[in-house]
Amino acid sequence: MPLQTMSTRDALVAEVRRQILSGELRPGEALTETSLAARFGVARPTVRSALQVLESLHLAQPSPGRSLVVPVLTEADVRDLFFVRVPLELEAVRVIVEQNRDLREARRRLGVMTALSAGASWAERVEAHTAFHVALIEAAGSSRLNRIYPAMQEEMQLCLAQLHASYPGPEDLAREHQTLLDEISSGDLGRAQREMREHLDRAVRNLIPRL
C-alpha cells in the first residue's frame, strides 16, 4: 500500500503500528528489514530506522534470532503494567471526584468511541479507548502525571490489541466506559474508585488467559 503525507519512515511506523494494534501482525511475528522493505517498497535503511522507533515504543522486541518481533506479552508483563497503571488511575479518579474536575473532554472522547461504526477496526477502537483514559488522566490537572501516563500507552494498547475477543459487539467497549464515567460523575468517591478498579481488574482477567 502507498505511504504518503508524511516522511516515509514515519508513514511506515504508523502503518506497522496500526497492523500490530489491529492484530494483523500477531504476537511473535517477525519484523525483518528484508520482508518489510519488500512489502512496502522502501529502502532497508528506512525500515531499520522505523524499527528503531517501534522498539522505542515497545511495539517491537528482540528475539533470540536477533531479529525484531511483535512483542509477546507474558502474564508477568501484564501484571507489572497494571501494577503501575492502577494506582495512577485511582489517584486521578480521587482528584477528579474530590475537586469536581471538568470531565467534558472525557465525555467527548466517550462520544467518539460510541459513534464508531460497526465496521470500525479494532485498532480504531483501541485508539478511542486510549484517548478516553488519557482524557481522564488529564482531568486530574497534574502536568507530571500527564507526562508519566503516556509513556505506558503503547504497551497498554498492545494489551488491548489482544483483548478483541473479550468485546464481541462493537458497542460493548463504549458501554463499559459509559458505566465507568457515570460512576466517576456521581460524586461518590467509593463508587467511582470501585468501578475503576473493577474496570482495570476485568481487563487483566480477560487478558491473562489469552497470553
Cell matching residue 13: 511506523
Residue whose entry in the numeric block shows the C-alpha cell 465507568: 180
The answer to whether residues 59 and 113 belong to one domain is no
What's the CA gap between 203 and 44, in Å, rounded?
A: 38
Q: Given 69, 99, 114, which residue is the final one in a domain?
A: 69
CB atoms near residue 5 (< 10 Å): 8
Quote the Cα angle for 23-29-30, to 5°: 135
The answer to whether residues 119 and 186 belong to one domain is yes
Q: What confidence score (pLDDT) does residue 76 get?
A: 93
Q: Is residue 3 part of a domain?
A: no
**pLDDT in tens for each of the 211 residues of the chain?**
555 556 899 999 999 998 998 888 988 999 999 999 999 999 999 999 999 999 998 899 998 877 899 998 889 999 999 999 999 999 999 999 999 999 999 999 999 999 998 888 888 888 899 999 999 999 999 999 999 998 888 888 888 877 777 776 667 889 999 999 999 999 999 999 999 999 999 989 988 887 6
Q: Tally the domains of the chain.
A: 2
Q: What confidence score (pLDDT) does residue 101 get?
A: 98
Cell matching residue 159: 494489551
Q: Is residue 2 part of a domain?
A: no
Q: Residues for the chain: how many in total?
A: 211
Q: What confidence score (pLDDT) does residue 4 get?
A: 52
CB atoms near residue 133 (< 10 Å): 21
Q: What confidence score (pLDDT) does residue 83 get?
A: 96
* pTM, to two decimals: 0.84
The answer to whether residues 95 and 146 belong to one domain is yes
Q: Given 20, 51, 69, which residue is the final one in a domain?
A: 69
Q: Is residue 122 part of a domain?
A: yes
Q: Is residue 187 part of a domain?
A: yes
Question: In sequence order, which residues have a C-beta less than 8 Å from that of residue 118 and are 6 or more positions away?
Answer: 170
What's the CA gap between 182 and 180, in Å, rounded?
A: 5
DSSP string computed for 98-155: HTT---HHHHHHHHHHHH--TT--HHHHHHHHHHHHHHHHHHTT-HHHHHHGGGGHHH
The answer to whether residues 87 and 186 belong to one domain is yes
The answer to whether residues 23 and 91 belong to one domain is no
State the CATH number of the domain containing residue 93. Answer: 1.20.120.530
Q: Is residue 1 part of a domain?
A: no
Q: What confidence score (pLDDT) does residue 2 get?
A: 56
Q: Is residue 27 part of a domain?
A: yes
Q: Given 69, 87, 111, which residue is the final one in a domain?
A: 69
The answer to whether residues 115 and 47 belong to one domain is no
The answer to whether residues 87 and 184 belong to one domain is yes
- Give start and end residues of each alpha helix (H) in the chain: 8-22, 33-40, 44-56, 75-98, 104-115, 122-139, 143-148, 153-161, 172-185, 189-207
What's the CA gap between 35 and 118, in Å, rounded?
A: 32
State the CATH number of the domain containing residue 55. Answer: 1.10.10.10
The answer to whether residues 38 and 82 belong to one domain is no
Cell matching residue 122: 479494532
Q: Is residue 96 part of a domain?
A: yes
Q: Is residue 131 part of a domain?
A: yes
Q: What confidence score (pLDDT) does residue 6 get?
A: 67
Residue-number span of the structural domain to which 43 is assigned:
8-69
What's the CA gap between 97 and 108, in Å, rounded?
A: 18
The order of strands in the sheet holding 61-62 is 30-31, 68-69, 61-62
The answer to whether residues 53 and 88 belong to one domain is no
The answer to whether residues 122 and 158 belong to one domain is yes
Quote the Cα angle for 69-71-76, to 5°: 145
The answer to whether residues 99 and 166 belong to one domain is yes
The answer to whether residues 87 and 56 belong to one domain is no
